[in-house]
């Protein structure tokens, strides 16, 4: 993953960043650019650095992309200029590739088979060696994104059809990729054989088909959820409807990122046919069983831990309450605060409710701790507002290992649980007690609803070989 400085990124991001969100639609008679805009709006939580849409009318592919939120990138005039009946869209957080407009997606190129646009959610673990191969062949690359590597591999792949070229790419690529691919006359959905990143299909009013990273985007435009794109699958959408074509066999071990259930996915989305909000409540309930404590109120860090806190309160028989108000716009501005505001840190994002906190013994529930840079000032904020005790409960195990499959998590040295024991972390955060959900408890909840999950950030057991620049490949634990 690239560690370049994220110029233009919000200065108060969540500690975990997902790679991005993808969207695609094939629908005659519909304003597909506008529908894609609203689909991306529903997926804004998955990427807030850049946004883009590519549209085909069957002859020409037109695209627009820029740095910023969906609402900042697109105007009525821009949407009106994107005419056609099939489209793909993308929201981006940078993982491989720095935060620059040249890395914004979708990527659009001309090939021997015609125009091609592509949007990618994930991270190729062998991107460095694939990039070297392209450069040795004389292929010029204009960005540092592994998505451009994918586009150029497809442009230069063997095969007289896009399906053949997609299969050729899938046989050589390693790592996470959920793709929406646009040609002049078809739209494709492609998912890696491990199924690291989510991708689902919906039906729009019997006139079209929709693909999205999450089902919440389908609901936003009135599409009906049909099913997940299966690992290793290629699906084509064209005038003949939806056609499943041969991709590559699924991996022996499925590996959907467990953080989709814990944090990334919107609570109203479905993953493997089950509501994410329900899973988060179950995680909170399991956490309460493992780490009970005498307290007056349970509260979550808004908004990502609210469902976990509700589950904890229900299982513990304690009242659930609100102790922090979140400014939902501070984290989504591209205007940098001055140095005085920067020093206020978390106070820019959260405001305490002293009447709810004064004299209370609190259970503070959060979804995860990565570096601890946000948790510590939140605890201090609650104590300043009058909380008598703060008992922190985390609805996931300690994160001790970095992610190489498309989550901008941190380096191993930056992970607080890699450096400190749980008691030491609690002391660092300034809490009265600290309890993490056990890996066994997490598995008990989530593996009942999934055929396989990647938990490498907790266990260090990666589901595939990893390629590190300059160090050669390393095998999974």
User: Do residues 71 and 43 touch, judged by C-beta distance below 8 A?
Assistant: no
How crowded is the C-beta side of 365, counted as CA atoms within 13 Å?
Answer: 37
Distinct helix (H) and strand (E) counts, the chain: 17, 25
**What does the alpha-carbon distance between residue 384 and residue 363 come to, in Å, rounded to a whole number?**
16
**Of 402, 331, 389, nearest in space to 357 by CA:** 389
Compute the CA torsion angle 224, 59, 55, 172 (nearest 10 deg). 80
User: Do residues 87 and 144 touch, judged by C-beta distance below 8 A?
Assistant: no
**What does the alpha-carbon distance between residue 398 and residue 276 come to, in Å, rounded to a whole number?**
21
Catalytic residue flag (residue 20)? yes
Alpha helix stretches (DSSP H) within 29-142: 32-42, 70-73, 76-81, 127-136
Question: Cβ atoms within 10 A of the Cβ of 359, count?
Answer: 9
Which position among 20, 257, 403, 457 bears the catalytic label? Answer: 20
Q: Are strands 241-245 and 234-238 parallel, antiparallel or unpaired?
A: antiparallel
What are the φ/ψ torsions at residue 284 (nearest 5 degrees)?
Answer: -65, -40
User: Do residues 334 and 12 touch, judged by C-beta distance below 8 A?
Assistant: no
* DSSP three-state, residue 468: strand
**Of 42, 49, 48, 36, nearest in space to 82 by CA:** 36
The single residue listed with the structure tokens 């066999």 is 249
Alpha helix stretches (DSSP H) within 252-389: 259, 276-290, 306-316, 339-344, 354-357, 375-384
**What does the alpha-carbon distance between residue 408 and residue 398 come to, in Å, rounded to a whole number?**
16
10 Å CB burial of residue 455 (0-12, 13-18, 19+) is: buried
Write out the catalytic residue numbers. 20
């Amino acid at each position: 993953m690239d560690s370049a400085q994220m110029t233009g990124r919000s200065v108060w991001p969540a500690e975990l960043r997902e790679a991005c969100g993808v969207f695609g639609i094939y629908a005659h008679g519909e304003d597909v650019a506008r529908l894609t805009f609203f689909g991306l709006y529903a997926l804004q939580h998955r990427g807030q650095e850049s946004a883009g849409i590519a549209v085909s009318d069957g002859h020409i592919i037109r695209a627009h992309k820029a740095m910023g939120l969906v609402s900042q990138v697109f105007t009525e005039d821009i949407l009106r200029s994107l005419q056609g009946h099939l489209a793909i869209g993308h929201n981006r957080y940078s993982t491989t590739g720095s935060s620059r407009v040249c890395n914004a997606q979708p990527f659009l190129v001309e090939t021997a088979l015609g125009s091609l646009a592509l949007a990618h959610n994930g991270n190729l673990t062998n991107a460095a060696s694939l990039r070297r191969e392209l450069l040795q062949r004389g292929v010029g690359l204009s960005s540092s994104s592994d998505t451009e590597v994918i586009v150029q591999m497809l442009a230069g792949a063997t095969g007289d059809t896009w399906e053949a070229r997609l299969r050729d790419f899938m046989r050589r690529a390693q790592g996470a990729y959920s793709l929406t691919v646009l040609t002049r006359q078809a739209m494709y959905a492609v998912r890696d054989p491990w199924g690291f990143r989510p991708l689902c299909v919906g039906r729009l009013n019997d006139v079209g088909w929709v693909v999205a990273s999450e089902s919440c985007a389908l609901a936003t435009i009135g599409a009906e959820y049909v099913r997940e794109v299966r690992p290793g699958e290629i699906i084509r959408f064209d005038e003949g409807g939806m056609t499943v074509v041969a991709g590559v066999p699924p991996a022996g071990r499925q590996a959907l990122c467990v953080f989709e259930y814990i944090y990334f996915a919107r609570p109203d989305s479905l993953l493997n046919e089950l509501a994410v909000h329900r899973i988060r409540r179950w995680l909170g309930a399991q956490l309460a069983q493992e780490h009970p404590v005498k307290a007056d109120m349970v509260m979550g860090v808004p908004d990502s831990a609210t469902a976990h806190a509700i589950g904890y309160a229900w299982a513990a028989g304690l009242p659930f309450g609100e102790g922090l108000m979140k400014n939902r716009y501070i984290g989504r501005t591209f205007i940098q605060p001055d140095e005085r505001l920067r020093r206020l840190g978390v106070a820019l994002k959260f405001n305490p409710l002293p009447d709810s906190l004064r004299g209370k013994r609190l259970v503070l529930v959060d979804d995860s701790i990565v570096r601890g840079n946000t948790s510590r000032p939140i605890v201090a904020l609650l104590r300043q507002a009058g909380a008598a005790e703060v008992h922190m409960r985390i609805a996931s195990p300690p994160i001790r290992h970095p992610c190489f499959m498309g989550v901008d998590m941190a380096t191993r040295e930056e992970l607080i649980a890699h450096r400190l024991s749980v008691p030491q972390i609690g002391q660092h955060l300034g809490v009265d007690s600290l309890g993490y959900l056990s890996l066994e408890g997490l598995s008990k909840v989530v593996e009942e609803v999934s055929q396989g999950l990647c938990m490498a950030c907790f266990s260090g057991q990666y589901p595939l070989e990893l390629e590190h620049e300059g160090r050669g490949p390393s095998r999974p634990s």
